[in-house]
Amino acid sequence: MNDVMNEDWPYPYPKELLYSAGILPREVNEADDDVGGAEGERRHQPPQAQLLLELARDVELFHTPDGEAWAVVPVGDHQETWPIRAKAKGGGNRLGKWLRLRFFDRYKRPPSAQALSDALATLEAMADAGRAQEVFCRVAAAGEAVYLDLGGPEWRAVEVTAEGWRIVQDPPVRFKRPRGLLPLPEPERGGSLEELRPFVNLADEAGWRLLVAWLVGALSPWGPYPILILQGEQGSAKSTTARVLRALVDPNAAPLRTAPRDERDLTIAANNGWLLAADNLSGIPPWLSDAFCRIATGGGFATRELYSDADEVIFEATRPVLLNGIEAVATRHDLLDRAIILDLPPIPEERRRPEADFWAAFEVVRPRVLGALLDAVAAALRNRDTVRLERLPRMADFAVWVTAAEEALPWPAGGFMEAYAGNRAEAVEAALEADAVAAAVRSFMESRETWEGTATELLNELEAYAPERAHEGKGWPNTPQSLSGRLRRAATFLRQVGIDADWGSREPGTGRRLWVLKRLKRESIVTVVTPVTEAKETRTAQGFLGVTVGVTMKSPIVTTVTESSQQKPLQDAVCDNCDGCDEDSATFSTEDTLGGASVSSVSSESSPLRPSATAESPGAGDPLAPLLDVADEADDAAWLARVEELRPKLERLTPAEIRALAQKGWDLLERGGSATAWGVLLANAVKD
């Protein structure tokens, strides 16, 4: 073998033998042959993999907390964030293509596939040894600022702070650009959210407020997020409205998609986009309903890694979710508890317009509407630490965020909570109507105050109250265990309609676990917020008595009743004619009890809703006189009993009679009588 050894080849074996056996990488030879200048220099040229690493010297390397390797690559006058191993559009690796092109520009030869693979593997190892940094999709937060990736080729973003918003070139956060992500327009100042109204099909003012609130919430980097559900018959523009909303938050090449086949598809979609939108759903199976809940409020998903028997891939994400369908797609209580449901009205033929004209007009206003949404995000950042809600509803963080943004939203303060409370009440009713067990429990407890027994006994009792169709399918439990599970799921909504379903106590002697059903006193009253408006605006509101009345809203009256056993005397009421209170108004803070509920109220002394002292009063023989007499006695039990007795007459009250009752209510409010809550509610029910 010595005859093959020489000064240029120190090995005792022929070159081809060592190459073919894999003992020496052929790239060493290729680098010697293909790269370099003079013949004497080629023999000392570094391997191609090393040259590729030299070309990547200006690339910033890091890894995410879950171990994925990323690179910040200089491209022209900006930087882009690329995964080191992921495939680029059209096949291949984006960073690999960039390195291949650099190598070719420098050495006028393509690098070998093995050299490129070795270089990428080395870069990945270097990234893993470097610092950890999160990578975001579309929306991110850093400190007290929110960043929105515009998605354009310049890789610019919008920075939103409490002072306002501006476009920045190099944000302090790293954004990824999954396949399908489309750019947002550059936002413009001076726009109004009212410019969005012609492009969304909504039934009423409450729906408009909730839709805008969901958009503002979707631009927050901090969840949880309510699930927006658009329902309506064919031709009600459900899909078009959903596309409009997505175009303002997270435009995508496939804006609306079918329901995912499994959790793996759902988590991949959540990992590669900010907003999840499912179109034309006919129903949501239980596993998907639970998965949407976890995505909206935050949760992790684990699935087996492809081509592996033991390794898991873990996805953790919190995302805004948008669903639409003809039917009531959400029926499970936990999904309804997280949802905003908007029923879209059909569009008359005379209001239809060509799709091309519609989208052309929308593109004109889209930058201005986006700017107005960013103004609202800035307001939320400015005010969120000072917002105090009397009662925190489900999705409390979302409610606080939108309330904090209201100074930049097109309605008076308190308007969102008014609409949100009403929508949640409708969701509760929808959930109970769709649940055969809950409906049977409500019917069963109509003539009872309490009931106690085992799940077996309760199942037998409820059989008589179950709809016949429930027995034909899977809507009715067949075993005590399944009944207990259904009751636990419905317990939250049943409690909101006055039925407490408690499970857990054990029967003395036998140790059997018992269900206790109990009718609750009507202790909780939904928050009523009457905002300030310049012009009169007549709407309908559902009062405590179940009577729908017209309400003219002109001055702010906020009433909230929360559960409490505490009682404060009248001397604790405060009226300050000082800072924050003008001479013509007074602020009262009183608390009293009404069946265990505490009442806090804020009213205006000169409120236009307050009846004048000369309001027409019922005569001595009027059936309302006994009610007023009972109110004077400040006896809660007698008052409630009298209301029930006179309910049919109350439902037919004339405006004059309502004014008389409201006047009595104001008197009780100022005296701190125990019927304070009734006084405030009746004052809110005055008709012009």
Question: pLDDT for 548-572, tens place per residue?
Answer: 323 333 333 333 333 333 333 323 3
- The mean pLDDT value for 629-652 works out to 56
- The mean pLDDT value for 439-466 works out to 87
Per-residue CA distances from 4 to 1, 32, 245 (Å): 6, 19, 74
Segment 602-616, tens digit of pLDDT = 333 333 333 333 333
Lowest mean pLDDT among 11-15, 366-370, 645-649: 11-15
How far apart CA 99 and CA 527 sit, in angstroms, is: 62
Answer for the pair 461, 453: CB distance below 8 angstroms, yes or no.
Answer: yes
Any idea of the CA torsion for 209, 212, 213, 219, to the nearest 10 degrees?
A: 180
Segment 223-267, tens digit of pLDDT = 899 999 999 998 899 999 999 999 999 999 999 988 888 888 888
Which pLDDT value is given to residue 200? 95
Which pLDDT value is given to residue 564? 34
More confident call, 669 vs 155: 155
List the Cα angle 672/678/683 in 5-degree steps.
Answer: 95
List the Cα angle 175/179/181 in 5-degree steps.
Answer: 60
- State the DSSP code for 8: S
Q: Which single residue is written with the structure tokens 């729908």?
A: 548
Residue 155: phi, psi to the nearest 5? 55, 45
Determine what percent of the chain is predicted with pLDDT higher than 70.
64
pTM: 0.67
* DSSP for 305-329, written as a single string: PTT-SS-EEEEEE---EEEEESS--
Which pLDDT value is given to residue 357? 93
How far apart CA 454 and CA 114 sit, in angstroms, is: 71
105 pLDDT tier (thresholds 50, 70, 90): very high
122's CB contacts (< 8 A; 6+ apart) are: 49, 53
Segment 459-505, tens digit of pLDDT = 888 888 877 666 556 678 888 888 888 888 888 888 888 888 887 66
How far apart CA 562 and CA 390 sit, in angstroms, is: 8
Query: Is residue 335 scored above 50 in pLDDT?
Result: yes
- The mean pLDDT value for 298-313 works out to 59
Which pLDDT value is given to residue 497? 84
Query: Is residue 363 scored above 50 in pLDDT?
Result: yes
How far apart CA 523 and CA 350 sit, in angstroms, is: 48
More confident call, 676 vs 311: 311
Segment 273-289, tens digit of pLDDT = 999 999 999 888 889 99
Specify the length of the chain in residues.
688
Segment 525-541, tens digit of pLDDT = 333 333 333 333 333 33
312 pLDDT tier (thresholds 50, 70, 90): low
For residue 354, the one-letter residue type is P
Query: Is residue 109 scored above 70 in pLDDT?
Result: yes
Answer for the pair 603, 680: CB distance below 8 angstroms, yes or no.
Answer: yes
Cα–chain center distance at 428: 18
Q: Which single residue is written with the structure tokens 């033991």?
A: 310
663 pLDDT tier (thresholds 50, 70, 90): low
Which pLDDT value is given to residue 563? 36
Segment 377-403, tens digit of pLDDT = 999 999 999 998 888 888 899 999 999
Lowest mean pLDDT among 145-154, 601-610, 659-668, 674-683: 601-610
The pLDDT mean for the chain works out to: 74
Answer for the pair 347, 236: CB distance below 8 angstroms, yes or no.
Answer: yes
Segment 70-81, tens digit of pLDDT = 999 999 889 999
Lowest mean pLDDT among 174-183, 324-333, 549-558, 655-664: 549-558
Helix axes 625-633, 636-650, angle to 10 degrees: 160
Lowest mean pLDDT among 11-25, 309-323, 599-613: 599-613
Count of Cβ atoms closer than 10 Å to residue 687 Cβ: 16
How far apart CA 62 and CA 59 sit, in angstroms, is: 10
Segment 154-213, tens digit of pLDDT = 999 999 999 999 999 999 999 999 989 999 999 999 999 999 999 999 989 999 999 999
Answer for the pair 180, 272: CB distance below 8 angstroms, yes or no.
Answer: yes
In sequence order, the β-bridge partners of residue 229 are 323, 341
How far apart CA 412 and CA 482 sit, in angstroms, is: 46
Which pLDDT value is given to residue 362? 96
More confident call, 335 vs 17: 335
350 pLDDT tier (thresholds 50, 70, 90): confident
**3-state SS of the chain: helix, strand, coil percent to 5?**
40, 20, 40
Per-residue CA distances from 522 to 495, 519, 568 (Å): 10, 9, 21
